Amino acid sequence: MEVVYTKEKLADELEYFFKSFIGEGEEKYRRRVSQLIVTGSYSLLVDYEDLLYVLPDIATMLLENPDFVLDASKEAAMRLVSVENSEYAEHARDYLRVIIRGLPEKLPLRSLSASRLGRLVAVSGMVVRTSHVKPMVIEAVFRCPMGHAIPVRVEGSRRLKPPDTCPVCEAELLGEQKKSKGRFYKQSDFALDQKASKFIDYQILRLQELPEELPPGQLPHYVDVGVTGDLVDKVRPGDRVIITGIVRAEPEREEGRGRQMLSVFETRLEANHIEVVGKEPENLEITLEDEEAILRLARDPQAYSKLIRSFAPSISGYEEMKEAILLMIAGAPQLMLADGTSIRGNINILLVGDPGTAKSELLKYAARVAPRGLYTTGRGSTAAGLTAAVVKERNGLMMLEAGAVVLADKGLAAIDEFDKMRPEDRAVLHEVMEQQTVSIAKGGIVATLNARTSILAAANPILGRYDPSKHLYDNVNLPIPLLTRFDLIFVVRDIPQRERDVRLARHMLKMRGASSTEEHPPMDFDMLKKYLGYAKRIEPKLTDEAIDLLVGFYSELRSKAPAEAIAITPRQLESLARLATARARILLREYATKEDAEAAIRLVKKMLKDIGIDVEAGAVDLGELYGYPIKERGKMKQAMEIFRKLEDPKSGLVQAMRFIAELVEKLEIDEDEARELLEKLWKTGYVYEHERGYYKRLSF
């Protein structure tokens, strides 16, 4: 026979549950009530599994009729608080509430349909927007013109309605006079007494589907969440959360005068409890069997090569690029110094190369296998979309919306078509790639968000194909300060080679063949993802041997740089250290050894060789990598001296044709080379075209 509960009977049952439940070796909820009073909190946390174990009927009723059960729970909790501390109970009466944690079923956002209205649910998602905190009135006190206080309880609506009459004033009137006058006052005659009214903090969050739960080709669903009291400011954009709350329907209103209520409603979630999960991307669901398999693979002498072969097995070749991307996903530990300074552990990689060389496929695979990865393209991204935006809602609230690099905090952001981004959009990445933060000051909101993100970018050369006779800066449309923030830069060239082309063609067509069998990599996709997430838990340190090797390589390259050349800098030394510790991390070792340092040096040498710098052969000038080498800078210096001599004394203008002729004569170069030199001076900002055919020097 089903038990019918009145509110009083339900409160009695829950009071006994709070008093008598034994958990963790003590009276669990009595202790929590005592902690409320000590900390000054107003939220009593109840574990749903405890309620389900002792009072299964009430636990079921809580899901179906949460308002009724939570009101009775509050009454039961107030009785306990009154016994413990009557003074605190009097103060907390309007603010105390019971919050529920650990519902057994976590629903995806897509399942919040009309059938869930009024029910208590737990949904998982990612916070993409947060509004600033505002006070919300829960009990308004109005005063009539005579000064009498009229309390008005505000429930279930954000619209505050003044009273129609003052009961005290009406009681003082004679009956006949009252009848003749009707309403004693208009609503506009009543004033809100803010000091006597009661307020709580209020905030709106926007919860969006997790990228890995999004069905292919679908737009992500989102829901706005109302947050009050102790739950305010618990999360930031980019956090992954499980929110327990009651599904509500808020009516939409048509624009214009009158703002009539429409028959269409908008789904909202009234938050009861917020649990932040996945703050660390390594918090993957790894079973004991998975952990045993991971540790077994790490002990294998061929573990490193197996990991590389397991990464993007459908793409033939590119072993060193795959190795570097694996190291980037694993990353190195972020160092926090005693003075509060942090040294980034994230590795940034740029792929520059010819079209059709599988750069995009590598980026997409990396974004899928990384514990927290996002993929975007340069043309489809703006500065606000990459970092953060301030958005004004229809209700007037200013909301902070997180962009791609904030959502990928402690993960990976893969940006394709990097060269096709607008310069002003790309400029926001300078802070992200070195300081690992996003600072915004918009719409009255000044904030700094974490963006501890590895950037994997792909760019095409300016003229479609990479020209080895030109320097990297001339091949790719990227500013030098941004180039220096990449730890590794790979040049991918499509050079016809018969043996390699045949091998690649067979590999590509093998999957379509009738008789061929698919080759299986040493680790499947899910296992590789778990392995990389597990590896991020390790915090390796450099051994003295590894430090000596890296210092030797660094000092050798510095010594090989000519006097006026761009020498290797401490930024490249940091890159070497990050790569070495990332390799130790991926092999689940506590210390980075000499072998790890050698692998880091090998990858850096490969990068320099791709760009055209032969480390073994003598002078090392990073001008080949970041700008112009010493020889070209010498030519540009001479060209500027010639430009100064040709300047008109009054206007400072120089005719382009005359300047080119002087360059040909004085520097003994041909006319095409002279035109290229003028273009370089223009690109680097030394001169600008003042009017057609005439240039002027930029004064610094």
For residue range 181-192, what is the model confidence (pLDDT) as tens digits? 444 577 778 888
Per residue in 473-503, pLDDT tens?
A: 667 777 777 887 888 888 877 666 677 667 7
Q: Cβ–Cβ contacts within 10 Å for residue 368, how many? A: 16
Euclidean distance between CA atoms 249 and 255, whole angstroms = 19
Euclidean distance between CA atoms 300 and 307, whole angstroms = 11
For the chain, give every domain's residue range. 7-101, 106-278, 288-537, 630-697
Under 8 Å between Cβ of 540 and 591: yes
The percentage of the chain sitting over the pLDDT mark of 70, rounded to a whole number, equals 83
For residue 5, what is the DSSP state?
P
Euclidean distance between CA atoms 647 and 644, whole angstroms = 5
Token look-up 């669990």 returns 28
Per the model's pLDDT, the better-predicted residue between 55 and 627 turns out to be: 55
| CATH entry 1.10.3720.10 includes domain 630-697 | no
Per residue in 210-220, pLDDT tens?
A: 776 777 777 78
The percentage of the chain sitting over the pLDDT mark of 90, rounded to a whole number, equals 1
**pLDDT band, very low/low/confident/very high, at 409 (cuts 50, 70, 90):** confident
**pLDDT band, very low/low/confident/very high, at 396 (cuts 50, 70, 90):** low
Q: Per-residue pLDDT for 517 more than 60?
A: no
Q: What is the mean pLDDT of residues 514-519?
A: 55
**Among residues 48, 24, 28, which one has the least CA distance to residue 102?**
48
Q: Supply the pLDDT for residue 640.
A: 78
Q: Supply the pLDDT for residue 158.
A: 60
- Give the sign of the dihedral formed by CA 392, CA 393, CA 397, CA 400: negative
Element (H, E) at 586: helix 570-586
> pTM to 2 decimals?
0.68
The structure tokens listed for 664 are 């040909």
Q: What's the CATH architecture for 7-101?
A: 2-Layer Sandwich (3.30)
Euclidean distance between CA atoms 205 and 128, whole angstroms = 8
Alpha-carbon 286 to chain mean position: 23
Euclidean distance between CA atoms 687 and 166, whole angstroms = 78
Euclidean distance between CA atoms 100 and 120, whole angstroms = 9
Q: Poorest-confidence range of 223-232, 254-263, 287-296, 329-338?
A: 254-263
CATH code assigned to 288-537: 3.40.50.300
Biggest alpha carbon distance in the chain?
Answer: 113
Q: Quick one: angle between helices 630-646 and 656-667, nearest 10?
A: 130
- Give the sign of the dihedral formed by CA 463, CA 464, CA 470, CA 476: positive
Euclidean distance between CA atoms 88 and 138, whole angstroms = 19
Average predicted confidence (pLDDT) for the chain: 78
Q: Per-residue pLDDT for 700 more than 50?
A: no
CB-count exposure of residue 132 (10 Å: 0-12, 13-18, 19+)? middle
**CA 364 vs CA 181, 209, 456, 640: distances in Å:** 75, 19, 10, 45
Kindly report the backbone phi and psi dihedral angles of residue 267, in degrees, each rounded to the nearest multiple of 5, phi listed first: -75, 130
Q: Poorest-confidence range of 208-217, 387-396, 634-643?
A: 387-396
Token look-up 């005659």 returns 189
Euclidean distance between CA atoms 373 and 367, whole angstroms = 4
Q: What is the DSSP string of 472-536?
A: HHHHS---HHHHTT-SEEEEE-----HHHHHHHHHHHHHTT-SS--PPPPSS-HHHHHHHHHHHT
Paired sense of beta strands 120-131 and 240-253, if any: antiparallel
Q: Per-residue pLDDT for 195 more than 50?
A: yes
Q: Quick one: angle between helices 7-20 and 56-64, nearest 10?
A: 120
Q: Which fold has domain 106-278?
A: OB fold (Dihydrolipoamide Acetyltransferase, E2P) (2.40.50)
**CA 393 vs CA 159, 246, 286: distances in Å:** 17, 22, 40
Q: Supply the pLDDT for residue 343.
A: 79
The structure tokens listed for 484 are 């220096």
Euclidean distance between CA atoms 73 and 516, whole angstroms = 65
Euclidean distance between CA atoms 584 and 602, whole angstroms = 15
Under 8 Å between Cβ of 235 and 130: yes
Under 8 Å between Cβ of 554 and 545: no
The structure tokens listed for 654 are 């120089």
Q: Supply the pLDDT for residue 179.
A: 47
Per residue in 16-39, pLDDT tens?
A: 888 888 877 778 888 888 888 888
**pLDDT band, very low/low/confident/very high, at 383 (cuts 50, 70, 90):** low
